[in-house]
């Protein structure tokens, strides 16, 4: 039984909620273990077509709960045991992922959102990398994802200054997909998840795998990968149905198969 995560499924969307609102969902070893398990559960469930990650209460995640940091603990070992399984699970799932940033996202809490495909943020939320302010380097995948999202110069600026930025600044930096008015936020997240769930989600997985490979591949490598994944996509039920719908002048209805 999970104690620091809630897991709910509705209309083929799995919503995983960090659930320590009294601590702004600060991360513990228990929460991280449950989070990795929940992402894997959603990934293995063939009825799930979208994964949403959010926080309970007034914030998304304040980062590591510093009250749980023991004197002399090896932060590298802690990363390897608890954080990296979560980041790998988010980064490698073939299903589209949305970070629904409903409030403060700081430190490793912000890092979690960077491993997702989309980030939808409430317009009153605050974001900060913040590691420098406690004498640590950015971790939980941030050094990998952040420069790829916003460029190395801006990523270095956020890492070295440790400043808090607004939702609008995050949008201007191309760090988030959308900044949404607080009154419309929950509806917008639900609508966006529903839109993704209506798409050919098996092919979305192929697209994610292709794009992930592109950053460390040559053009010839990627042309070879195109052949493989387009062959697979062409054999999906969704492609076959879409072609038939086009011929019949109808809108396609995708099943994710």
Active site residues: 84, 139
**Closest by CA position to 208, among listed 118, 86, 83, 121:** 118
Q: 179 to each of 146, 175, 185, how far by Cα in Å?
A: 18, 10, 9
Whole-angstrom Cα distance, residue 77 to residue 69?
12
Exposure string (b/e) for 95-123, b if CB count within 10 Å is 16 or more?
A: bbbbbbbbbbbbbbbbbbbbbbbbbbbbb
Kindly write down the DSSP assignment for every residue of 39-101, as one continuous string: HHHHHH-TT--EEEEEESTTEEE-SB-GGGPPTT--HHHHIIIIIHHHHHHHHH-SS-EEEEE
Distance CA 60, CA 124 (A): 12
Q: How far apart are CA 95 and CA 7, in angstroms?
A: 16
Rg of the chain over Cα atoms, rounded to whole angstroms, equals 19
Pairing of strands 59-61, 13-18: unpaired
């Amino acid at each position: 039984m999970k104690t620091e995560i809630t897991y709910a499924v509705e209309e083929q969307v799995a919503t995983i909620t960090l659930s320590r609102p009294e601590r702004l969902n600060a991360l513990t070893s228990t929460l991280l273990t449950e989070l990795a398990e929940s992402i894997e559960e959603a990934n293995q469930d063939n009825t799930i077509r979208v994964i949403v990650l959010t926080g309970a209460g007034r914030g998304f995640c304040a980062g590591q709960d510093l009250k749980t940091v023991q004197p002399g603990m090896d932060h590298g070992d802690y990363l390897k045991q608890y954080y990296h399984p979560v980041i790998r699970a988010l980064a490698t799932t073939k299903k589209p992922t949305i970070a629904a940033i409903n409030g403060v996202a700081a430190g490793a809490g912000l890092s979690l959102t960077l491993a997702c495909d989309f980030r939808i943020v409430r317009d009153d939320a605050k974001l900060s990398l913040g590691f420098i302010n406690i004498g640590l380097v950015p971790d939980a995948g941030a050094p990998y994802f952040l420069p790829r999202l916003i460029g190395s110069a801006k990523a270095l600026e956020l890492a070295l200054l440790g400043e808090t930025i607004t939702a609008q600044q995050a949008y201007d930096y191309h760090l988030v997909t959308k900044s949404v008015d607080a009154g419309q936020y929950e509806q917008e997240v639900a609508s966006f998840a529903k839109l993704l769930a209506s798409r050919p989600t098996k092919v979305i997985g192929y697209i994610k795998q292709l794009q992930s490979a592109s950053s460390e591949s040559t053009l010839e490598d990627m042309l070879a990968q195109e052949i493989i994944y387009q062959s697979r996509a062409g054999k999906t039920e969704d492609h076959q149905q879409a072609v038939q719908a086009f011929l019949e002048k109808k809108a396609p209805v995708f099943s994710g198969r």
